[in-house]
Amino acid sequence: MDGTTEKKARLDNGSSVRPPNPYLEKQDVDVLFHIGLATDKDQLPARFGDVKFVCMGGSTTRMKRFAEFISERLGFGTQNGTVLTDLCSTDRYCMYKVGCVLSVSHGMGMPSISILLHELIKLVHYAGCKDVVFIRMGTCGGLGLKPGTVVVTDTAVNEMFEPAYKVPILGKIVSRPTQLSKEVATELLAAHDSNADYDVTTGNTMSTSDFYEGQARIDGAICEHTLEDKIAYLQAAYEAGVRNIEMEGTCLAAMCGAAKIKGAVVCVTLLDRLLGDQVTMTPEQHQEWEHRPQELLARFFINQLRKEGLY
Ligand code: R2B
Ligand code: URA
């Protein structure tokens, strides 16, 4: 395909995703640098056009295990029979595809997930995906919740408890609303197995730019606030409806909202931040708790696919 034909096919592909960037139409080729895919070489519509659920989590091994789990749980099989292949040709992120599910690692923090989201939003657009849902599946600190509880985010808020993602662009702070899908959050909550021995709840999620001081911890290398300051801040967060704290939610909410993609955040709490700072669960508990959002997502996928007669 020559450049012009390729560009036309890339932009008129019926995707429901509209990246709000007029300059994309002017580019002949788009190289998605950090995931190592390009519009002219990688047959994005053929390889990714059927994607319905883009699931992201921090760690590469967890996202590989998630892909294996989904493949088995939903009976999707894998791309080449037995072994899952990492579709990112770079080592910045990893990406696995099983049926209509993409499982992608996002690293830690908003700068990392922001780069990935720019490229994934363009990927699903160029691939012609329709009605795609983006979900972050991760870990967090809880507020007043038993460790191991799963929280489906209602509203993602920043450190000032505002539903806003603030990012410096051209030397100015740009504030974007954090917009998650209420519909997806409701469906996720409904997907919980009532026989499970843990709770799935909802509340506001505070996203921070740091794990230590940024989350009011007093166990980092640097701490200029007191234990009393920390308790007062976490209490104020609780009163503002915050039930868990993590590091990517507001960015995902704002970027999905801007691109008209339904976004959701599902995290398991590793500790109760009202009781302490150190993460001390056993490796066995960690593994078991990390699996809980995965099971919830599997049940959510099955419900959604059944509704569309696809499962
Ligand atoms: C949760 O866990 C990570 C920090 O330990 C971070 O990526 C997050 O949001
Ligand atoms: N991830 C976070 O961002 N904070 C916690 O307290 C635990 C996991």
pLDDT digit string (tens) for 239-259?
A: 999 999 999 999 999 999 999
Which atom of ligand 2 is nearest to 270's Cα? 7
Considering Cα of 299, then 65, then 211, then 180, what sign does the dihedral take? Answer: negative
Residue 136 marked in a binding site: yes
Beta-carbon contacts of 18 under 8 Å, excluding residues fewer than 6 positions away, are 125, 259, 260
Q: Where are the alpha helices (DSSP H) in the chain?
A: 3-11, 44-48, 60-73, 110-126, 182-190, 227-239, 249-258, 283-307
| Protein residue with least CA distance to atom 6, ligand 2 | 141
Q: Is the CB of 246 under 6 A from ligand 1?
A: yes
DSSP state of 26: G
Q: Flag the least confident range among 80-94, 264-278, 287-301.
A: 80-94
CA 8 to CA 163: how far, in whole Å?
37
* pLDDT of the residue at 283: 97
* pLDDT of the residue at 14: 77
CA 7 to CA 46: how far, in whole Å?
15
Query: Domain ranges in the chain?
Result: 1-130, 139-311
1-130 placed in CATH 3.40.640.10:
no
| Protein residue with least CA distance to atom 5, ligand 1 | 211
Which atom of ligand 1 is nearest to 279's Cα? 5
Using 50, 70 and 90 to split pLDDT, how confident is the model at 287? very high
What's the pLDDT tens digit per position in 65-106? 999 999 999 998 755 555 799 999 999 999 999 999 999 999
Residue 292 marked in a binding site: no
Question: Which residues approach ligand 2 with their CB closer than 6 A?
Answer: 139-141, 211, 215, 245-247, 270, 279
What's the pLDDT tens digit per position in 152-208? 999 999 999 999 999 999 999 999 999 999 999 999 999 999 999 999 999 999 999
CA 226 to CA 228: how far, in whole Å?
5
Which atom of ligand 1 is nearest to 109's Cα? 7
Residue 144 marked in a binding site: no
Pick the CATH number of 139-311 from 3.40.50.300, 3.40.50.1580, 3.40.50.620, 2.30.40.10: 3.40.50.1580
| Distance (Å) from CA 199 to ligand 1 centroid | 21
Residue 139 marked in a binding site: yes
Q: Nearest to residue 200, comparing CAs of 283, 264, 117, 108?
A: 264
Q: Is the CB of 211 under 6 A from ligand 1?
A: yes
- H or E segment and range at residue 100: none
Q: From the CB of residue 291, how many other CB atoms can be counted at a distance below 10 Å?
A: 15
Residue 77 marked in a binding site: no
Do domains 1-130 and 139-311 share one topology? The answer is yes
Which atom of ligand 1 is nearest to 108's Cα? 7
Q: Average pLDDT for residues 52-69, to the nearest whole number?
A: 97
